[in-house]
Structure 1
């Protein structure tokens, strides 16, 4: 059998994750299986590849009734240990939201498409959701066996990948609107995203920890003096967070993904090496809001020098065309959203947070070369280790090359006019 590589040797495997956990699952999957011969657990992503959870890939060599052997693999997602950032993640109810997404909302969205005669797959099949000692866990199909892979997040994504991502996003958004029309509003957890109304001081503290190194790094990027003052005060950042939770009922709103970055999309490629399918991962930050919040994050995090920023308005148009198509397929009853409404919604104060949050938190992390220290815990440390790590992150040449073009674009579009708050 093929060798199994572990991309992150330092990851601790939870004690409850053992052979017996998979016996009933395999019995459902493979009726002719007799026993699990070999059980191997490895990290699913390299160090720094996942900031808010533990991702594991489990390999099972199983023996069949006829004596032959077969290898099965699954992906397991569970909570970080509380001293490694898990406490904060738990308080924000990210896993509780994902539990609701995989058990209720996403299966319903896929059903809405099936009933409309237009079957789609939005996400990996979730085979089991459970809770052990207060730890929520998910067991997923291993999409790598179907040749789905993550795009290289340090390289950004080109327009082919972008089109597939926008199509998948529009499928998700359209179904979420129909679901709300039929079954009423989403659980109150989905009023919150990265910021929570009752935990704004938590968001503000995280900002205060990172701001000094970020501002110092900005002076080294070689951007014009006028852009350096486009950085929020602590008070303005708190207002920005609160504003992001305001939903204008007059706008076209959807259940946003909330963390729609290329690292949360898996792609499948055809024989010519072109991307042909996409699936979405990680539904912890979903909230009811304008779809432009997802679009802003995707545009900013597609960090290909000279590409997605030039295509800014085109990306919104491509998304809108897909959205209209899917709303029609699903027999949406209300007036269809107009392109001009989406383009102008990008500039509304309640939609700006995702752009700034992505530029300050996601983008520098995404563009950092893989290393063990690259994790949520180190990024938020308030000591010298945290400070020097953040300085390294914010002055990383790959990040600087992208951000020195991007930051002025956001300022020039009025997105980073923080005195508005």
Structure 2
């Protein structure tokens, strides 16, 4: 994606700020001759943070020149989405992930003699006043890139992403086995028990435009689906089953919990197949069944031609790598069974990730780049918000996806929301 200088760069992100970062990164330089911060991603590609690419031209002590880049992640300057960010503890979670857990997970593999890198090298995690900041190596320098989120991931890309996810999950389980439970904030992801009024407001806004759009998708037997649409009370019970009933799962891990194509970067071989994979963005991590990540990823990021066709196959691909990694890391408990994971994909306490992904995430993910794609516009009750929600639910890419997804989940009983009335 083209870089842009349209982002309002906070003034404190300057040359002096990056001098100690360069030193810690081992750069032996005489002076910084040029400092250029630009937007790392285009408008409408990130909803809860500012992502910058920092370009630095260095004059080294031997007189030679060097160009250096970093990726910086910091919090939004304005109020857009700040309530969501603060309530869900997104940045405190990510601070722990990069500062404590990811290095520990990678060390588990290193100690086992099978080094694995899960995420980009993090050069700085800090709390600065009310702000939390991160500076990462720039993976694009090594050729890593995202795949088009609208096109979705092909079979090779999905398989490699799920295998990397399995590496992350396996390490998280062994760490839990050795150190005990994760902090309290990892018990919830997109929603927590105090969110009732907030979630009700959001649901009632979104469902209006969703219903309007649904009638125009061309669904066969549309009235059947329309009558079965969930109410907010059903939605809330579905959410709370997920938060409260992790003990019902056959096997639990620390989920990425926002696992989709833009949080995966790839390098490719000359023939177009995947060479390596790296995971990004650990703000939502949550303890629960690994199928939370699987359901979410398959629903929102698998290419249309394989999303339903390979659904169970994706679980098997993940499971095979998960078991391999657990064995490498000398996991002490019984290994998870594939049949149990497949059953977890349909348990009512994991339905949340199917329901929420199609109502909340998929319409945004399938929307072509748009400067109005923000948390604020999606959640706004005013006319602009209504227009924006109408736009995303009638988007042809979303419509095409829902013509497959809605009947599939309905016929599997996953979207039988009257189950939550019991």
TM-score using structure 2 length = 0.96
Q: Which moved more, 1:70-79 or 1:24-33?
A: 24-33
SS at match of 1:137: strand
- In the alignment, which residue of structure 2 is the partner of 1:164? 160
Please tell me whether residue 17 in structure 1 is matched to residue 16 in structure 2.
Answer: no
C-alpha offsets along residues 70-107 of structure 1, whole Å, 9 cap, x if unaligned?
11100011112341112321121111101111111111
What's the C-alpha RMSD, in Å, of the aligned pairs?
Answer: 1.3
- In the alignment, which residue of structure 2 is the partner of 1:227? 225
Please tell me whether residue 236 in structure 1 is matched to residue 234 in structure 2.
Answer: yes
Per-residue deviation at 1:8?
Answer: 3.8
Q: 1:370 to 1:19 in 2, by over 3 A?
A: same
- What pairs up with 1:55-66 in 2 under 5 angstroms? 55-66=51-62
- In the alignment, which residue of structure 1 is the partner of 2:275? 276
Per-residue deviation at 1:401?
Answer: 1.1
Distance, in Å, in 2 between the alignment partners of 1:100 and 1:32 is 30
C-alpha offsets along residues 334-384 of structure 1, whole Å, 9 cap, x if unaligned?
111111100101111111111111111111111111121112111111100
Distance, in Å, in 2 between the alignment partners of 1:237 and 1:142 is 40
Distance, in Å, in 1 between the alignment partners of 2:180 and 2:71 is 33
The 8 Å contact of residues 253 and 288 in structure 2, kept in 1 or not, is answered as yes
In structure 1, which of residues 39, 55, 67 is the aligned counterpart of residue 63 of structure 2? 67
Distance, in Å, in 2 between the alignment partners of 1:200 and 1:35 is 54
- In the alignment, which residue of structure 1 is the partner of 2:112? 116
- In the alignment, which residue of structure 2 is the partner of 1:307? 306
- In the alignment, which residue of structure 1 is the partner of 2:315? 316
- In the alignment, which residue of structure 1 is the partner of 2:203? 207
Distance, in Å, in 1 between the alignment partners of 2:87 and 2:158 is 33
Per-residue deviation at 1:116?
Answer: 0.7
Q: Which moved more, 1:297-306 or 1:403-412?
A: 297-306
The 8 Å contact of residues 101 and 283 in structure 1, kept in 2 or not, is answered as yes
The 8 Å contact of residues 40 and 58 in structure 1, kept in 2 or not, is answered as yes
SS at match of 1:83: coil
Q: Which moved more, 1:86-95 or 1:289-298?
A: 86-95
- In the alignment, which residue of structure 2 is the partner of 1:179? 175
Distance, in Å, in 1 between the alignment partners of 2:312 and 2:249 is 22
Per-residue deviation at 1:31?
Answer: 3.9
Q: 1:250 to 1:227 in 2, by over 3 A?
A: closer
Distance, in Å, in 2 between the alignment partners of 1:402 and 1:288 is 29
Per-residue deviation at 1:250?
Answer: 5.7
Q: 1:284 to 1:31 in 2, by over 3 A?
A: closer
Distance, in Å, in 1 between the alignment partners of 2:168 and 2:97 is 12
TM-score using structure 1 length = 0.96
SS at match of 1:245: helix
Distance, in Å, in 1 between the alignment partners of 2:405 and 2:232 is 22
Structure 1 gap ranges (5+) = none
Distance, in Å, in 1 between the alignment partners of 2:48 and 2:340 is 34
- What pairs up with 1:99-178 in 2 under 5 angstroms? 99-178=95-174
The 8 Å contact of residues 304 and 402 in structure 1, kept in 2 or not, is answered as no
The number of equivalent residue pairs is 417
